[in-house]
Amino acid sequence: MSRALTVAASGLMALALWQALVWLAALPPFILPGPLRVAETLWSSRALIAEHAVITAAEVLIGLALGALLGAASAIGLAASPAARGLIRPMMVFSQAIPVFALAPILTLWLGYGLASKIAMALLIIYFPVTSAFFDALMRTPQPLLDLGRVMGASSARLMWHIRVPSALPGLASGLRLAAVYAPIGAIIGEWVGASRGLGYLMLLANGRAKIDLMFAALLVLAVFTLLLHRAVDAACRHWLDARAG
């Protein structure tokens, strides 16, 4: 309860500072609308914002699920095969040198303006954090556990699935927590490059029509969704790890 009160107090302070800045600087609404004006727009345009928010949420959740599965599978493959580490890992690291903004137009050209290109963007932006966190945890399996498994005659596959993977699950959970924050970024970038639906598209549309209050309302919904997604993933990971420990 005290944590919730602290978060609420912090949020109220941020809103008060925002409103004070608007009043003291006498900023016009088309430059920076106040929180009250944004709240009014959020309520009056709730149906429009909800329609676009559903699309963005679908892109994020599908991309998160696919990215998590692909990242976990890749980490296990890299940990199991020295040859794969030598060939594939350098390419993975090199891929991070390419800005995601540069990939968005290419994915839109290949996959179109629908959900597929946005899901691919969300998948790409979370794939490396999940793979890297899980792989590092797999490679740090306590040596005494591995030695015990080998003494008992366990094969490499059994060592992986019964010792290395269970020991590395906290690392996978850390990667998933990061992915929950990064996935909305990928979806929004994809919508900015080319889309006809979604919160990113709505923000661009509102900005082009000088409806800055609507743009802030959509941005607020996106921020709240990201926070809730992170909390949900964190709670699921904690429950999962506690259940396995118990």
Measured on CA atoms in the order 238, 240, 245, 246, is the torsion positive or negative? positive
Question: What confidence tens digit (pLDDT) does each residue in 71-92 have?
Answer: 999 999 999 998 888 888 888 8
Question: What confidence tens digit (pLDDT) does each residue in 195-226 have?
Answer: 889 999 999 999 989 899 999 999 999 999 99
The residue written with tokens 């004006």 in the block is: 37
In this structure, is residue 4 part of a structural domain?
no
In this structure, is residue 189 part of a structural domain?
yes
Average pLDDT over residues 49-53: 97
In this structure, is residue 72 part of a structural domain?
yes
- CA nearest neighbour of 194 among 123, 134, 130, 107: 107
In this structure, is residue 227 part of a structural domain?
yes
pLDDT at position 245 over 80: no
% of the chain beyond a pLDDT of 70 = 98
pLDDT at position 1 over 70: no
In this structure, is residue 50 part of a structural domain?
yes
d(CA 91, CA 106): 19
Question: What confidence tens digit (pLDDT) does each residue in 15-35 have?
Answer: 889 888 889 888 888 888 999
pLDDT at position 51 over 90: yes
Distance of CA 95 to the CA centre of its chain: 18
Range of the domain at 225: 34-245
- Structure tokens belonging to residue 74: 């890749």
Half-sphere exposure of 194 (CA within 13 A, CB side): 16
CATH for 42: 1.10.3720.10
Half-sphere exposure of 19 (CA within 13 A, CB side): 11
More confident position, 86 or 166: 166
Query: In the chain, how many domains are there?
Result: 1
pTM: 0.91
pLDDT at position 246 over 70: no
In this structure, is residue 210 part of a structural domain?
yes
